[in-house]
Amino acid sequence: MAHSNSEEMRDIARVNPVIEEMELEQIQEQEEDTKRVPPWTKHMTIRGLIVSLAIGIMYSVIVMKLNLTTGLVPNLNVSAALLAFVFVRTWIKLLHKAGIVSTPFTRQENTIIQTCATACYSIAVGGGFGSYLLGLNRKTYLQAGVDTPGNNPNSTKEPEIGWMTGFLFVSCFVGLLALVPLRKIMVIDYKLTYPSGTATAVLINGFHSSKGNKMAKYILQSSYHLQFMFSQDQNRIGGDLCGFVQFPTFGLKAWKNS
């Protein structure tokens, strides 16, 4: 009995230093990252703007497709942070192979890229491109029916770059002015948890840890395998008549009339 207790104490003594060493490494890594944080002007990089523009354009096409077909647009903040990490890491590796030294990729730069990409597709959704903005032209008025009650011929407006740009500019600033007091009330005063922001922050911190590359690679491979298996099952079972393509988003009655 005494012999078994002594062996357990030795095992605990061997495990405890390992745990303490891992915790010490994590604390040192966080302290080093805090000391190395450059001013905010250093996080606004050319590569960040290019990557955020590419992700924003790609996501704008995706959300427009979803908005025009289903009317539902998911939250893409987390995936934007993942793509930003993958694109910039690939960029840095290619430059390194070419013998070009690049600035390190930080959490703050990753956050800026994710925010810019999210803002791009948010304008595509919130600006009304999939709903009211493009439905103001005269062609839509004629398709709705001239004799339809409430369909006024004087309420049409053809899409033009000038007034649409001004409208989106004003819409974006209205949202910005409303966001600041809401953040003060909801997040700072009431300390409510912001789900998508918290999830994105945790993901970005995980990417920029010592195991960040493995985590990003695992997430990409898992999502690719799931998408591949789903597409194969859809083609094998029912083709275009199977899967979320035929999901009755607006009810069975609307689905039967589609």
Domain boundaries defined on the chain: 42-186
For the ranges 37-46, 78-87, 152-161, 215-224, which has the lowest average pLDDT?
215-224
Specify which of 10-19, 90-99, 189-198 reaches the highest per-range mean pLDDT. Answer: 90-99
Calpha distance 64→74 (Å, rounded): 11
Calpha distance 132→164 (Å, rounded): 12
Instruction: Identify the pLDDT of residue 13.
Output: 45
Instruction: Identify the pLDDT of residue 220.
Output: 61
pLDDT over 70 for what percent of the chain? 67
Give residue-wise pLDDT tens across range 202-229.
888 887 877 666 666 666 667 655 655 6
Q: Is 18 or 232 the better-scoring residue by pLDDT?
A: 232
Calpha distance 82→58 (Å, rounded): 14
Amino acid in the structure at residue 44: M
Give residue-wise pLDDT tens across range 2-44.
445 555 545 544 545 544 555 555 555 555 555 566 777 778 8
The mean pLDDT value of the chain amounts to 76
Say if CB 87 and CB 23 are below 8 A apart.
no
Instruction: Identify the pLDDT of residue 44.
Output: 85
Q: What is the mean pLDDT of residues 138-158?
A: 82
Q: Which of 207, 212, 187 is CA-nearest to residue 197?
A: 187
pTM over 0.85: no
Q: Is 218 or 168 the better-scoring residue by pLDDT?
A: 168
Q: Is 132 or 212 the better-scoring residue by pLDDT?
A: 132
Angle at which helices 195-207 and 107-126 cross, to 10°: 140
Which residues are within 8 A (CB) of 192 and not within 5 positions of it... i.e. 6 or more apart? 186
